[in-house]
A and B are shown apart, each in its own frame.
Chain A
Amino acid sequence: MTTQTILPVDAEHLSELSQRSGEPGWLKESRLKALELAASLTLPRLEKTKLDRWNLNTYGTYKASQAFTALNEAPASIAALIKDQEAGSLIIQRNSEVVYTRLAPELAEQGVIFTDLQTAVKKHGDLVRRYLHKAVQPDEHSIAALHAALWSGGVFLYVPKNVIVSTPIQAVLLTDDAEAVFVPHILIVAEANSSVTYVDNYVSDKTEAGLHNGAVEVFVGAGAKVQFASVHQLGEDTTDVTYRRAVVENDGMIDWIVGEMNYGNTASDTKSVLKGNGSSSNAKVIAVGSGAQKLNYTTQAQHFGRNTPSNMITRAVMRDSATSIINGITKIEKGATRADGQQTEKVLMLSPKARGDANPILLIDEDDVTAGHAASVGQVNPEQVYYLMSRGISKHDAETLVIYGFLAPVVSQIPLEGLRKQLQSLVERKLGQ
């Protein structure tokens, strides 16, 4: 049985929108083609998750948002995240549009570009066109196609060759109007031997059902290093489907740090394509599921280059009746000699109704490689709780120690102190309700 994709917009309207916002012709064509594709493609097939039962149709429409010039005009829902960021490099997207953009002048002087993607397609059209939709391609499935047709706002970060950006570049993406489309696209290009850290936060402040259909594309040049950190803390009302992809050239490095702290249904797929020799990828995903959340997290590493190490770690704590399917896919292509693919997926369940499922998959077409996986799904170990209690620690505190301890080996490796603390407090908030 195939389900017909419900198109949230018709071609005429889409074309008019594109024209009205002054987009170049190639982008309008790309949007229209993607919309056409969406009609013929099916939903992505996720392991043990029936996406067709999810709320994936409440896109809303493109709505203008009021831009602001000073951070104190920002909505209260994101105030904590942008505190003391007056002098930092920050983009804020509210619903369909970016409402605040600031790039530190010293970075601009070095040729760094940091702007909303809608502006970038006009100002830096050739550059954007070279990369846009090349890592997450519109013909993969209907979600990717609709993303390519409908994206708005978004982030474009370009770091020229040899430029080392030492302070994190940040973005905050807020959905607080259920009628407005919330489909931001993040595009990061790090040229050869450059280095940059990007951190974003997804926040919602509304009660009506909504959808975030997000895509992230990161292009890591030869010898470049990109640290990409993302924290999703969308509310129960918002369904979140996010595809993240990095394409890494020779000796490049991508570090993914993902905090899945949403309250609604979430499907995410974080993939590194290790194209160049000596390229490497490190992915850390921390998740807490609560309520009746349905969650599907995938990490992937695809090795084409020789001497390519990848490491993927997902740790998830599930409480109440949350269900999580956790997939790790290491794919080593023929010719990727001396690749090393490692992955670990662990789920800790805190209630008898919570469900967890870890699926490690190794697909190896080359002999001269090393690969390994470990997966576990379990409950809080009563022996451990007994041991802690035998030293006088109360049952509640003992369980808390074990639960935080489960996430700590991953959290403690997060190199950004602010992010580490933020994740810790989000974990506490989700576990402490």
Chain B
Amino acid sequence: MAAEFIIEGLKASIEGKEILKGINLQMKGGEVHAIMGPNGTGKSTLASALMGHPKYEVTEGTATLEGENLLEMAVDERARAGLFLAMQYPSEISGVTNSDFLRSAINSRREEGSEISLIRFIRQMEAKMKELDMNPEFLHRYLNEGFSGGEKKRNEILQMMMLDPKIVILDEIDSGLDIDALKIVAEGVNSMRSEGRGFLVITHYQRLLNYVTPDFVHVMMQGRIVKSGGPELAQRLEADGYEWIKEELGIEDETVGQEA
């Protein structure tokens, strides 16, 4: 069944300051939606609020995946319901190996007694790591500890591939990547595109969208989606920047929640 992901009237704040001021978005499995916008307009807050980061408080709205409101679930339940967020700044966790971590994550989706066998898990993981051009030793490294920016991003994509989510949010996955790494990451994403899976690609730059072609493009300013269109919108933003949208909508300061 194709996943249907509907965000309605989502408002969220951090330390009492409202950042998201009513987000509405509908996605279906197989679609790639891009969220673009200048810095400080609430893009990453949207990603974190959907995943349930403890610092963000959702004050209004719903986000339903296949009819179930994710916002009423704990973070781990959201993940098990099929949401995946590739983070902009993944945590480093000393003492927990990449493989132990991922095996726990996979087994959290399985019944007790039907855990994935070690051999099968290692085989799967090694195959995916090869696709992402990752050194197999990363299996035994502590989670993200001492990884370069690019290695962390690849590790996020690796997790996405292993966990087979229904809705994938990529939060600035392209930041800090050189062009070769960007291509590898994009190939990884493209290999996961399927009828049953939707992607929400948050990015500051058009660059990534050259490799992962979106079906829909949304522009965020002041904590709202202010403009939506097809892939041609991303092209125009690349060519002309954001100023024309601000003029069109009469926006002076596009940012939200930032101190003057």
Contact = CB atoms under 8 A, between A and B. Distances in A.
Interface string A43-56: 00000000000000
B94 interface: yes
A355 B56 CA distance: 29
Interface string B92-122: 0111100011101100110000000000000
Tell me what chain A mostly uses at the interface: helix, strand, loop, or mixed. Answer: helix
B94 A405 contact: yes
Contacts of A393: 76, 101, 104-105, 108
Contact of B108 (A383, A392, A404, A408): A392
A128 interface: no
B74 interface: yes
5 contacts: A392-B108, A397-B108, A401-B100, A404-B96, A405-B96
A375 to B, nearest CB: 15
B216 to A, nearest CB: 25
A395 interface: yes
Tell me what chain B mostly uses at the interface: helix, strand, loop, or mixed. Answer: mixed
B95 A409 contact: yes
B79 interface: yes
Interface residues of B, number: 29
B79 A387 contact: no
A351 interface: no
> In this complex, which of B93, B100, B101, B142 has the most chain A Cβ atoms within 10 angstroms of its Cβ?
B93
B53 interface: yes
A389 interface: yes
Nearest to B82: A392
B79 A392 contact: yes
Given A388-B105, A391-B108, A406-B94, 7 more contacts: A387-B90, A388-B93, A391-B102, A392-B80, A392-B163, A397-B108, A405-B142
A398 B91 CA distance: 13
B189 interface: no
Nearest to A404: B95
Contacts of B163: 391-392
A85 B96 CA distance: 33
A247 interface: no
A401 B142 CA distance: 12
B76 A395 contact: yes
Contacts of A381: 91
A208 to B, nearest CB: 38
A370 interface: no
Interface in A344-401: 381-384, 386-395, 397-398, 401
Contacts of B80: 392
B54 interface: yes
Nearest to A315: B95
A402 interface: yes
A398 B54 CA distance: 15
A389 to B, nearest CB: 4
A330 B53 CA distance: 42
Contacts of A389: 52, 74-76, 79
